[in-house]
Amino acid sequence: MLKLLDHKTRYLQIAFNQDTDQINDLLPQIPQSERILIEAGTPLIKKYGLEAISTIRRCWSGKIVADLKISDGAVNETIMAAEAGADAITVLGSSPTETINLFLETCERLRIISMIDMLGVSEPLKVLMKLKKIPDIVILHKGRDEESSKAKVIEYKHINKIKSKFDVLISAAGGITLREARSAIFNGANIVVANIVTQEDPWSGISTQEDVALIAKQFLETIE
């Protein structure tokens, strides 16, 4: 049976969004750790399909997140990602309630970690209250396109609201730096998501120009 994440442990999720060459070059440098999850990002999956997940699986024995951001067709998409090697999958919180319920039922049946991405959702708790089942993880997400706006922040106020009602883990995603990771954990998050970024990218994250293994270690120490 799949081992779920520990509520007392703080995790780092490293997201690959560019290409499979980047995975093959950088992922072997990242130390295998139960506290590190590797994500096949949405752009990566759109570019390479399910092979993006399989490529990561060949390099990584730990948990893999398939950031599908499912919005419809939940059953088939969840099954396909699981067969490709994913341990965890995302669905959009803005999806129809029926879609989210089917996603959660399928994840439970397949023993897959379920993640609901609340990108663009103003009241995450209201989404959760409508569901037949509760996800394993709720993602509070500031989108990539929102990073340039100083007015857009990850709204940590939702963490206490959610945890007062449901026994779920909270993931913080979007513009996560070491400083933001520290803030996320201080405010009650269990997981921080850091993107692998290139010199040309306008987004924050772990730069390919840096020692990726060292930065990953610094993240783990910061969120301990």
Tell me which residue has tokens 């139960």: 34
- Determine the number of helices (DSSP H) and then strands (DSSP E) in the chain: 9, 9
Summarised one tens digit per residue, pLDDT across range 66-101 is: 999 999 999 999 999 999 999 999 999 999 999 999
As a whole number, the mean pLDDT across the chain is 93
Q: What is the pTM of this model?
A: 0.94
CATH class of the region 11-222: alpha beta
Predicted local distance difference test score (pLDDT) of residue 151: 56
Confidence at residue 223, expressed as pLDDT on a 0 to 100 scale: 95
pLDDT bin (cut points 50, 70, 90) of residue 2 is: low
Residue 98: its pLDDT value, please?
A: 98
For the record, the structure tokens of 158 come out as 């939702």
Give the 3-state secondary structure of 26-93: HHHHCCCCCCEEEEECHHHHHHHCCHHHHHHHHHCCCCEEEEEEECCCHHHHHHHHHHHCCCEEEEEC
Give pLDDT, residue 1.
44
| Sign of the torsion formed by the C-alpha atoms of 207, 66, 30 and 171 | positive
Indicate whether 220 pLDDT > 90.
yes
Alpha carbons 216 and 58: distance in angstroms, whole number: 20
Q: What's the average model confidence in pLDDT over 107-113?
A: 97
Ranges 39-43, 107-111, 164-168, 199-203: which has the least confidence: 199-203
Residues constituting the chain: 224
Per-residue model confidence as pLDDT tens digits over 139-167:
999 877 676 566 567 899 999 999 999 99
Residues 180-187, mean pLDDT to the nearest whole number: 95
Q: How many C-beta atoms lie closer than 10 Å to residue 207's C-beta? A: 15
Residue 126 to residues 130, 165, 188, 189, 205: CA-CA distances in angstroms? 7, 11, 19, 19, 30
Residue spans of the domains in the chain: they are 11-222
If you ran DSSP here, which 8-state letter would residue 145 be given? G
Work out the average pLDDT over 200-211: 89
